[in-house]
Structure 1
Amino acid sequence: MRKEVLVTIRGTQTNDLGERETIELVTKANYYQKNSSFYIVYNESEISGLAGTTTSLKAEPSRVTLNRMGTAEVKQVFEEGIHHETSYVTPYGSMWIRVLPWKVEVDLTEVGGSINLEYELELCRQRIGYNELSITVQEV
């Protein structure tokens, strides 16, 4: 099974002052299943600020791995209650980021579904906010 799907990505970040910012992206993506994992692969756009970058998501029952390659490069792993630290490489330089997810929900089937993540994000050892990421996959 490999097909083109419509993916809606909605990210909300809340800073320490309670200020919220939400960004939504709707794009076409490749979607397939390999063993017990689902994969979502799409090209970033100007809207996300990551033009020239390909994003792939590997969704397992209790873990989601986000991998970006191109003008920006990062590999983030989301597992409930487990810190994951990595280097985030951008055209402007590299920085360390760390995620602490407390909600990782994967509800995907061959026809689509959703991924919901809630996590704290640290940049260069400084907490920069609470994040919610909702990814919906629909057949075209």
Structure 2
Amino acid sequence: MTQEVLLTISGLHQMEFMENGDEENEPIEVITPASYYLKNDRHYVIYDEVVEGLPGVIKNKVKITGDDTLEIMKSGLTNAHMVFEKNKSNLTYYDTPYGQIQVGIHTRDMDVNVTEDLIQVEVEYGLDINHEAMADCRISMNIRPKQAADRVLK
């Protein structure tokens, strides 16, 4: 059964500039309606992402397997299949409207907590672009039924 949920994604990319050693932090937070379902002990969340200044959308599917694997599959304006596995590295190609880049994901830590009204995922990883270290990153995802989220937001 599909359930309407509210998905909150928070992230932080700590980028180090080579020239002067300064760091730049880029915090982001997105709150969006999504659909959720459970199939074969795997949690799935599906949502659309709008990119400012470009027509069309990115269709996203998030798959959570156990407490050590998160997959994000993107299709549309961008195409990618990113795999985050605790204590493992994965490579993928990220297709954008401007060309393709190779992305390395080096997952250092992952924590998944599932309760009746909340799924919470925390991931810490290193990000490489075309074999060059770019940033240390953190992602937090909160998935809660839309009715419960409505009560919390009021």
Q: Shorter-chain TM-score category? A: over 0.9
- Give CA deviations for 1:53-103 in whole Å, capped at 9, x if unaligned: 011110011101110011100001111121100110001000100000011
1:91 aligns with 2:97: yes
The TM-score, its normalising length taken from structure 2, stands at 0.84
Unpaired runs of 5+ in structure 2? 17-21, 147-154
Deviation at 1:129, TM superposition (A): 0.4
Query: Which aligned runs of 4 or more in structure 1 are off by greater than 6 angstroms?
Result: none
Q: Is 1:132 the equivalent of 2:138?
A: yes
Q: Is the 8 A contact 1:38 1:108 kept in 2?
A: no
User: What SS class does the counterpart of residue 44 from structure 1 fall into?
Assistant: strand
Q: CA RMSD in A?
A: 1.6
CA contact (8 A) 1:13 1:20 kept: yes
Q: TM-score, normalised by structure 1?
A: 0.93
Question: Following TM superposition, by how much is the alpha carbon of 1:11 offset from its aligned partner in structure 2, in angstroms?
Answer: 1.0
Equivalent residue, structure 2, for 1:13: 13
Q: Return the alpha-carbon distance in structure 2 between the equivalents of residues 128 and 109 of structure 1.
A: 34
Which of 1 and 2 has greater Rg? 2
Are 1:63 and 2:69 an aligned pair? yes
Matched-pair identity in %: 27
Number of residues paired by the alignment? 139
After TM superposition, give the deviation of residue 111 of structure 1 in Å. 3.0
Q: Could you give the per-residue CA deviations for residues 23-43 of structure 1, whole angstroms, max 9, x where no partner exists?
A: 111000000100111001100
Amino acid at match of 1:12: L
